[in-house]
């Protein structure tokens, strides 16, 4: 095979393996534009654009890193690609070079952030070993049990924090790290070139929005069947897409609460290894994410099933809007209140008020405000886009990232040096509250125009 053909094969494989999804390509293009603009502005003593570009670069690396293991399995198990050529060696080489480059970039970034007493060689070796462990475990575990891939990061984090008391960044450990990395990749070589896939292993992160929605609906139906019971009302069950009975709600919320407690125990274990201020931020971030996700899940059900309520009820559009609001906030409150009470008890009796009571209260307030704002934003997207999940899944995360970025910029809860001035926290809350009131009034005024028969479900 000529050099040009070999180079072309590697180049095309690299694009398919590293940039398989459209959103990753757009993020890559945005990152390049911001970095180039930041490099130009840096000569005019404007550096914050370059910092934003660096943050985008790390986000891009994280996304690509999550895609690479799945792409390795998908490309190797694809019958079409197997008939064209044996891709084992090119895929292996691309993965090895990619993780070496990621380790180098992360180590260089850490060197700029913490230049004092920074041993580049040991940190580079440790970073490459850690990344190799996660990536190779993802590939091997995913080749046999794809649903178990989510436990790989948990296992690696537990292993890392168990060894945290040791001096991991000592230069004396550099040779050990490289030896372990070499052994990992040698094992990967033996397994990779002997592995015979029995079926095509799809990379779920690259599926189109329609296929992802179909799979989500299928998973929702299977979960709903396991946690179902006698419905309370027809309208509530239609809107939720499952039984709205008390028994069904109790079983679902008990499952969510059990998951919340298991994850909280894991964070408690991590908190023992961390400084007090860092541990408190861990708990705050976890609570914030959990509350917002619970609100998002409830709204996803409504978004998917709202047209069914219209078709099977005698409600007017105005009645549907009021009923949807009432049901959403009731379900959201029923999900959040038990979890919040459990955390308050653990924070008071187990953690000795590690997270201050003001911060717990404000965390609940800002989470509710952001979730409420996301609700009315989602209703607006539903109204203007004929219930397009693609637009919803683009607009909602972008807006939430902007709001979280504003909190970081204002040093609220988890900023670089969180503010202790209560007025700083009330400013953001007041702005969000005003946006919610105006947004609700705007959406309600436009709601009479919604056409449920055009929904893209």
Look at residue 457 in the predicted model and tell me its pLDDT. Answer: 46
DSSP three-state, residue 416:
coil
- Measured CA to CA, the distance from residue 250 to residue 246 in angstroms comes to 6
Per DSSP, helices labelled H in 151-208 are 151-162, 174-192
Look at residue 439 in the predicted model and tell me its pLDDT. Answer: 92
Per-10-residue mean pLDDT of the chain, 457 residues long, equals: 70 80 81 84 78 77 82 81 72 89 82 64 85 85 72 61 59 84 92 85 69 62 59 75 70 77 76 70 84 88 85 85 90 87 86 81 89 93 83 85 80 64 75 92 88 59
Quick: pLDDT tens for 81-110.
Answer: 666 666 788 888 888 999 998 888 888 877
Q: Do 347 and 354 meet the contact criterion of CB atoms below 8 Å apart?
A: yes
Look at residue 118 in the predicted model and tell me its pLDDT. Answer: 62
Look at residue 373 in the predicted model and tell me its pLDDT. Answer: 94
Q: Do 231 and 243 meet the contact criterion of CB atoms below 8 Å apart?
A: yes
Q: Do 163 and 170 meet the contact criterion of CB atoms below 8 Å apart?
A: no
In this prediction the pTM is 0.61
The alpha carbon of 345 is separated from its chain's Cα centroid by a whole number of angstroms, namely: 28
Look at residue 422 in the predicted model and tell me its pLDDT. Answer: 61
Dihedral pair phi/psi, residue 304, rounded to 5°: -75, -30
Q: Do 146 and 72 meet the contact criterion of CB atoms below 8 Å apart?
A: no
């Amino acid at each position: 095979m000529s050099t040009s053909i070999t180079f072309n094969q590697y180049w095309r494989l690299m694009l398919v393996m590293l940039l398989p999804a459209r959103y990753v390509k757009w993020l890559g293009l945005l990152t390049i534009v911001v970095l180039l603009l930041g490099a130009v502005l840096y000569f005019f003593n404007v550096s914050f654009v370059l910092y934003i570009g660096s943050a985008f670069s790390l986000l891009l690396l994280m996304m690509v890193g999550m895609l690479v293991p799945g792409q390795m399995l998908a490309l190797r198990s694809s019958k079409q690609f197997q008939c064209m050529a044996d891709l084992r060696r090119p895929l292996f080489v691309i993965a090895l070079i990619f993780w070496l480059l990621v380790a180098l970039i992360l180590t260089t970034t850490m060197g700029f952030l913490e230049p004092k007493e920074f041993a580049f060689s040991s940190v580079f070796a440790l970073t490459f070993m850690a990344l190799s462990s996660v990536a190779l475990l993802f590939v091997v575990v995913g080749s046999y049990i794809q649903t178990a891939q989510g436990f790989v990061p948990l296992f690696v984090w537990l292993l890392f924090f168990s060894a945290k008391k040791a001096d991991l960044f000592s230069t004396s450990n550099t040779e050990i790290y490289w030896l372990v990395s070499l052994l990992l990749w040698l094992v990967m070589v033996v397994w990779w070139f002997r592995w015979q896939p029995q079926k095509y292993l799809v990379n779920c992160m690259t599926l189109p929005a329609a296929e992802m929605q179909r799979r989500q609906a299928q998973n929702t139906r299977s979960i709903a069947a396991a946690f179902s019971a006698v419905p309370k009302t027809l309208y509530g069950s239609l809107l939720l897409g499952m039984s709205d009975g008390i028994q069904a709600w109790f079983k679902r919320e008990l499952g969510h609460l059990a998951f919340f407690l298991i994850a909280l125990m894991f964070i408690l274990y991590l908190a023992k290894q961390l400084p007090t201020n860092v541990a408190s931020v861990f708990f705050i971030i976890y609570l914030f994410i959990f509350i917002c996700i619970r609100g998002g899940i409830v709204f996803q059900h409504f978004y998917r099933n709202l047209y069914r309520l219209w078709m099977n009820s005698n409600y007017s559009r105005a009645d549907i809007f009021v009923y949807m609001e009432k049901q959403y906030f009731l379900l959201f409150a029923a999900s959040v209140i038990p979890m919040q009470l459990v955390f308050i008890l653990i924070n008071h009796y187990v953690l000795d008020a590690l997270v201050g009571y003001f911060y717990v209260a404000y965390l609940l307030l800002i989470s509710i405000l952001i979730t409420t704002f996301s609700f009315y934003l989602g209703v607006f997207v539903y109204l203007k886009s004929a219930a397009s999940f693609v637009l919803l899944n683009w607009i909602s995360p972008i807006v939430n990232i902007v709001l979280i970025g504003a909190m970081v910029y204002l040093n609220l809860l988890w900023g670089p040096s969180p503010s202790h001035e209560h007025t700083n926290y009330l400013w953001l809350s007041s702005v969000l509250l005003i946006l919610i009131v105006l947004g609700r009034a705007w959406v309600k005024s436009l709601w009479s125009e919604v056409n449920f028969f055009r929904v893209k479900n």
